[in-house]
């Protein structure tokens, strides 16, 4: 895919690595907490993703590459044979509907709890999350994480590689490395969660080292065309507070570019932001932009279409949407035909059964 001109429409075709995408709309990864207690994906999850196979690309919800990286109860994983088999049912269902699907790989770092994993969480530094962690027994005070040794950092890189290989075995078209939203890789990037004095802390070059090593190792293992990277410049999720966002992300992007990932995915992208504009200038490949549609607010009446086109005009190649896809399995058709958008029911976002998950309606279109 070239970036010499902005696409004219969300419904233009695109190429991503070896994949031909029928449109430029990406279903963003959203944790829905419907996996079994051990992290195995369920048949209900297969139904959910297959319903949304009309997206140009689905990025499936965050899956942990090892037990200590687990965040909350009900999230999926990708480190056992049972996990691989469960995800294979998901990918088979999506591919049967003509879809394309990547899997997001996420280590929670300090966003974990012994009640969920049986382990003390690990992080760049022993700085706890302020607040509580959701567990199967309810909200619990966050635990003080243990600072990772260099050997543990290297072992975690290896776990990401194994998880990526497992994802390919499970039938995914690729993986997305989650270096955003306050989880482990983002914790290394940010100076409020990384107080290390070794080669993984302090300077920009040191703080971006872990993410760079994970991306280098995963692209070498499964091929760069199968790997994306998610970043969240300036996003304060999970109590991240970057003091040097404007310098951090161009440096990170420049370090990632030589590994040639298939895409870079920017969370809450603002087309008017100098940081976003710097990233677009620096990043030589496909850029996925995720617009901020307001958290805790109703969906825009147009499902985010206006925001999406602003980002296309600013140089994004693909646009990821989360909650619009959550509540509208047929979102691409709804946006294409300007038909009404179904509102989400946030009481059913995390955990539960089919209610608020696979029971959202598909609208019959007169032109279909």
pLDDT in tens, 322-364: 999 999 999 999 999 999 999 999 999 999 999 999 999 998 7
Within-domain flag for 31: yes
Write out the residue range of the structural domain in which residue 327 sits.
14-348
The dihedral over CA atoms of 225, 209, 217, 146, expressed in degrees to the nearest 10, equals -120
Indicate whether 137 pLDDT > 90.
no
Within-domain flag for 243: yes
Within-domain flag for 5: no
Average predicted confidence (pLDDT) for the chain: 95
In 3D, which of 165, 278, 179 has the Cα closest to residue 228? Answer: 179
Written as six digits, the tokens of 261 are 């990932």
DSSP 32: -
Within-domain flag for 125: yes
pLDDT in tens, 39-66: 999 999 999 999 999 999 999 999 999 9
DSSP string, 249-307: HHHHHHHHGGG--SEEEEEEE-TT-HHHHHHHHH--SEEEEEE---SSSPPPTTTTHHH
Q: What does the buried/exposed string (b/e) look like for 183-212 if buried means 16 or more CB atoms within 10 Å of the residue's CB?
A: bbbbbbbbbebbebeeebbeebebbbbbbb
3-class DSSP state of 246: helix
Within-domain flag for 366: no
In 3D, which of 43, 315, 313, 306 has the Cα closest to residue 324? Answer: 306
Q: Number of folded domains in the chain?
A: 1
Within-domain flag for 6: no
* Angle, in degrees to the nearest 10, between helices 150-169 and 209-222: 30
**CATH number of the domain within which 278 lies:** 3.20.20.70
pLDDT in tens, 208-220: 999 999 999 999 9
Within-domain flag for 367: no
Residue in the structure block whose two tokens are 């040794």: 149
pTM: 0.96
Within-domain flag for 365: no
């Amino acid at each position: 895919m070239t970036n010499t001109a902005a696409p004219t429409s969300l419904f233009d075709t695109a190429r991503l690595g070896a994949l031909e995408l029928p449109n430029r709309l990406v279903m963003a990864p959203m944790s829905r907490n419907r996996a079994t207690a051990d992290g195995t994906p369920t048949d209900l999850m297969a139904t959910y993703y297959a319903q949304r196979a009309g997206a140009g690309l689905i990025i499936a919800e965050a899956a942990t590459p090892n037990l200590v990286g687990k965040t909350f109860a009900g999230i999926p994983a990708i480190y056992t044979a049972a996990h691989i088999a469960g995800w294979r049912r998901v990918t088979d269902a999506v591919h049967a509907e003509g879809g394309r699907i990547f899997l997001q790989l996420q280590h929670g770092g300090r966003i974990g709890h012994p009640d969920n994993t049986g382990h003390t969480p690990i992080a760049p530094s022993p700085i706890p999350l302020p607040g509580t962690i959701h567990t199967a027994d309810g909200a619990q005070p966050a635990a003080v994480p243990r600072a990772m040794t260099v050997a543990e950092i290297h072992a975690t890189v290896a776990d990401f590689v194994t998880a990526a290989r497992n994802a390919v075995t499970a039938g995914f078209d690729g993986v997305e490395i989650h270096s955003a939203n306050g989880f482990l890789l983002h914790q290394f990037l940010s100076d409020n969660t990384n107080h290390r004095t070794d080669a993984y802390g302090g300077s920009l070059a040191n703080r971006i080292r872990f993410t760079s090593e994970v991306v280098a190792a995963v692209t070498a293992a499964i091929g760069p065309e199968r790997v994306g990277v998610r970043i969240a410049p300036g996003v304060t999720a999970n109590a991240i507070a970057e003091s040097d966002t404007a310098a951090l992300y161009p440096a990170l992007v420049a370090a990632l570019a030589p590994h040639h990932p298939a895409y870079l995915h920017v969370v809450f992208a603002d087309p008017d932001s100098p940081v976003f504009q710097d990233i677009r200038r620096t990043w030589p490949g496909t850029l996925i932009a995720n617009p901020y549609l307001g958290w805790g607010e109703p969906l825009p009446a147009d499902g985010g279409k206006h925001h999406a086109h602003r980002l296309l005009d600013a140089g994004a190649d693909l646009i990821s949407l989360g909650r619009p896809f959550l509540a509208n399995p047929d979102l691409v058709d709804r946006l294409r035909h300007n038909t009404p958008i179904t509102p989400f029911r946030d009481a059913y976002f995390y955990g539960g059964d089919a209610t608020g998950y696979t029971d959202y309606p598909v609208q019959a279109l007169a032109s279909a």
